[in-house]
Structure 1
């Protein structure tokens, strides 16, 4: 799943920095048995002039479909260059 997230974000947002971490181990025993929890830190010129909410929406749009089939929770740090 990490590689699929990375692939989609690369294709949609052309980041200059991208870090995708599987943090499922931090959520063992929680909903979905700790699976599908991810952290994304992304820096992209596509975010220039966008408010944080819009940046998050852009990330979610790039990951369309995965939120229902693999991602249970997503923590996002999205910044412009």
Structure 2
């Protein structure tokens, strides 16, 4: 199973109303077909009443093995259903890679 598929599978434990896991490794200085940099957008009622740091901690706990191994970077955009609707169902764009050498 790919790293992306594993991440998606594990995050389903939060019963998401919306889940998008995007492999952004191609935007970084890594070998082709890498699975090292991901952006996660997740909407779950389980985030209600939780500050952002607690939401992130839930994700880190679920993905501990991936973060200890193949995943180098993980951008998290975590919403309650109300926050998601208020945002216009908008996910922020990731910035371009500024590290490493592209040569």
TM-score range, shorter chain: 0.7 to 0.9
Structure 2 alignment gaps of length 5 or more? 82-103
Q: Which runs of 4+ in 1 moved over 6 A?
A: none
Q: Which SS does the other structure have where 1:59 is aligned?
A: helix
Gaps of 5+ in 1: none
* TM-score normalised by structure 1 residue count: 0.88
Q: What's the TM-score once normalised by structure 2's chain length? A: 0.70
CA distance in 2, matches of 1:74, 1:18: 14
Q: Which has a greater percent of strand?
A: 1
Instruction: Give per-residue Cα distances to partners, 1:32-66, cap 9 Å, x unaligned.
Output: x2640000000001100101111111111111211
Q: Measure, in 2, the Cα distance between the counterparts of 1:25 and 1:75.
A: 15
> What residue number does 2:73 align with?
73
Residue 72 of structure 1 deviates from its aligned partner by 0.5
Larger of the two Rg values belongs to structure: 2
Q: Which protein has greater RCO, CA pairs closer than 8 Å, 6+ apart? A: 1
Partner residue in 2 for 1:5: 7
Q: Give matches, 1:10-29, under 5 Å.
A: 10-11=12-13, 13-28=14-29
